[in-house]
Amino acid sequence: MYDIGFLNGDIYVEGHFFRRNIYISADKIALITEAIETAAEVIDCSGLKIMPGFIDPHVHMALNVGEFTSADDFESGTCAAAFGGVTTILDFLDPIQTLSEFQTVMERRLKEAEGACLDYSFHLTLGNFKALNEIPELLSKAYNRGINSVKVFTTYSDSDRKCSDEIIAAILGTDMLLMAHSENDELVNTAHEEVASFEEARPVLAEMSAVAKLAEIAAYEKGCLYIVHTSAGSTVEMMAKRYSDLLGKRIFLESCPQYFYLTNQSFKGRDGRKFLLAPPLRSEEEQYKLRKQLHRLSTIGTDHCPFMAAEKLQYEGAGKVPKGIGGIEYSFLLMHTLYGDEVIDHFTCRPAKIFGLQEKGCLDIGMDADLVLFDPKGTTVVDSGHSSCDYSPYEGLVLQGKIKSTVSRGNFVVKDGVFLGGKGRYIRRRYCESDHQCYNL
C-alpha cells in the first residue's frame, strides 16, 4: 500500500505529458502507472498538469547589504516560493576572503535556513579572495559539505568583493562549477546617482565584455561556467556566436523573469527606485532580443532579493538604494505565460543536473516526491503575494495558469491554495557522475 496516490493527472516526463497515476511511499516516488493501486490517501488530479517541483538556483533570503536586509528570510521566502511551485532553493553563503572563514559562514547560513519549509542548498561565495594556495583546500572543504558551485563577482571592487582573474582561472581548472556575476568593473560607474538613467551606469557592454572574458578562461581551462542573471539579449547572442560548442554543455547562461518583463523605462517612473537592481533592467531592444533566445539559456533563476518599498524609497540617489527585487512566487507563471511548456526544463531537470541535485528535477521512480499540481485553465493575478515584501514589481499582471498545490518530499506544503507549511532539509550536492560532457542541456 502506498502513502498517497495522485490520480489522473497529466504527468511531465522528458518533455511530454502523459495521463498517469503517481504513487508515493514516504518521501519518494514509488510508482508511475496507468493502473489503480491502493493508497492511504488519493488525490484526484483530473485536469491538472503534474510537474517536478521547481528549482530556483538563485535566491537571496535574509541577505544583509549593510544598512538593509532583504525582506524575506528563509521562512517567508520559502512560503512564497511554495506558492509558486518551487520545492528547492539554492541560496548563497556570505562572501569570504580566506579559507579560515568558511566554517563560520557555513554554520551561520545553516542556522539561518532552519525555518525553511522547502529543501535548500548553498553556493559558496568568494569576495576578494587573495590566497591562491588556499583554493584547493577551500574547494574540497566545501565539496565535503555538499557544495559543488562557487560564486564570484567580477565587479564590486568598491566593496572588496571583486575576484581576481587568477583565482577565477584556478577554480575553472577544477571540477567546481564557477558561477559569475559578470560585469566589467571598469565599465561600471558606482558614482552614478540619477535613477532614471541608472542603466547607463552598468551598460550592456559591461556585461558582454565580462562574460566574454570568463568564457575564454573557461574554454582554456576546460572548466564549468555558469553566468548568473544574464540581462541583455546581446550577451546571449554573442555567446551563441562564439561559444556554441560549449553553450549548454560546459557554459550555462541563467536569466531571470525581470529581464523578460521589465525594461529600463521602469527606472523613469515616480517609483523608479523600487525597480533598482544589478545588472539593471535593459532597453526594449535588448529585451526583444532576449525573448527570442530562451532556447540558448539553460536555466531561469529569480535572484529573489526584495526590499520593503519604504527601504527602496528611503534615499533619493541610486547609490544608496538597496538593489534587488522579489519574484520567486511568480517566476514560473511569468515565464510559462510567455513560452508555455518550453520553459519547464529550465525550472526542473536542467538546474538539477547542473547543480548536482541528484534526487530532484524529474518525475521518476526513486526520485524525491517533489510535485507541482498546475491548473492550466486557471489564471493568476499578481499581487504582493506571500512574500514579506509589501510590493511586487509585477503587480497587476494577469498570468495564465494557477499553481494549485506544491508537494515537497511527499508532503503538501501548499494544498489547494492553502499554506500547510513543511520542514525543509539541507541538500548535499555532487559533481556530475562521469565528466562535464554529460551535461547536454
Is 154 in a helix, a strand, or coil? coil
- Cell 493527472 belongs to residue: 9
* Packing angle of the helix pair 165-172, 204-221 (nearest 10 deg): 50
The stretch near Zn ion (CB under 5 A) out of 132-140, 237-245, 296-304, 374-382 is 296-304
- Work out how close the CB of 303 gets to Zn ion at its nearest, in angstroms, rounded to a whole number: 4
- Would you count residue 345 as binding Zn ion (CB under 5 A)? no
Q: Nearer to Zn ion by C-beta: 59 or 407?
A: 59
Q: What does the block give as the cell for 291?
A: 525573448
Q: Which helix (H) or strand (E) holds 424?
A: none
Q: What mask, x for binding Zn ion by CB under 5 A, covers residues 255 to 294?
A: ----------------------------------------
Q: Nearer to Zn ion by C-beta: 56 or 368?
A: 56
Amino acid code (one letter) for 414: V
Q: Nearer to Zn ion by C-beta: 126 or 403?
A: 126
* CA-to-CA separations, 436 to 58, 142, 152, 211, 353, in angstroms, rounded: 21, 19, 20, 20, 11
- Work out how close the CB of 21 gets to Zn ion at its nearest, in angstroms, rounded to a whole number: 39
Q: Which of 10, 183, 199, 303 binds Zn ion (CB under 5 A)?
A: 303
> What is the pairing mode between strands 398-408 and 411-415?
antiparallel
Q: Nearer to Zn ion by C-beta: 154 or 406?
A: 154
The stretch near Zn ion (CB under 5 A) out of 11-19, 28-36, 63-71, 295-303 is 295-303
Nearest to 205 by CA among 190, 193, 187: 187
* Cβ-closest position to Zn ion: 303
Q: Is the peptide bond before 52 cis (omega within 30 degrees of 0)?
A: no
Q: Nearer to Zn ion by C-beta: 25 or 159?
A: 159
The stretch near Zn ion (CB under 5 A) out of 82-90, 166-174, 301-309, 377-385 is 301-309
- Work out how close the CB of 146 gets to Zn ion at its nearest, in angstroms, rounded to a whole number: 20
Q: Are 179 and 123 in contact (CB under 8 A)?
A: yes
Q: Nearer to Zn ion by C-beta: 303 or 368?
A: 303
Distance CA 160, CA 267 (A): 27
Sign of CA dihedral 181, 81, 296, 367: positive
- Work out how close the CB of 201 gets to Zn ion at its nearest, in angstroms, rounded to a whole number: 18
Q: Nearer to Zn ion by C-beta: 13 or 65?
A: 65
- Work out how close the CB of 306 gets to Zn ion at its nearest, in angstroms, rounded to a whole number: 12
| Binding to Zn ion in span 40-69, by CB under 5 A | none
- Work out how close the CB of 34 gets to Zn ion at its nearest, in angstroms, rounded to a whole number: 43
Nearest to 127 by CA among 106, 154, 109: 154
Q: Are 393 and 328 in contact (CB under 8 A)?
A: no
Q: What mask, x for binding Zn ion by CB under 5 A, covers residues 222 to 261?
A: ----------------------------------------
Distance CA 389, CA 337 (A): 23
Q: Nearer to Zn ion by C-beta: 54 or 153?
A: 153
Distance CA 342, CA 363 (A): 17
- Work out how close the CB of 407 gets to Zn ion at its nearest, in angstroms, rounded to a whole number: 27
- Work out how close the CB of 259 gets to Zn ion at its nearest, in angstroms, rounded to a whole number: 13
The stretch near Zn ion (CB under 5 A) out of 12-20, 297-305, 326-334, 408-416 is 297-305
Distance CA 260, CA 252 (A): 18
Nearest to 370 by CA among 378, 379, 362: 362
Q: Nearer to Zn ion by C-beta: 214 or 399?
A: 214
DSSP letter at 134 equals G
Which residues form the interface with Zn ion (CB under 5 A)?
Answer: 303
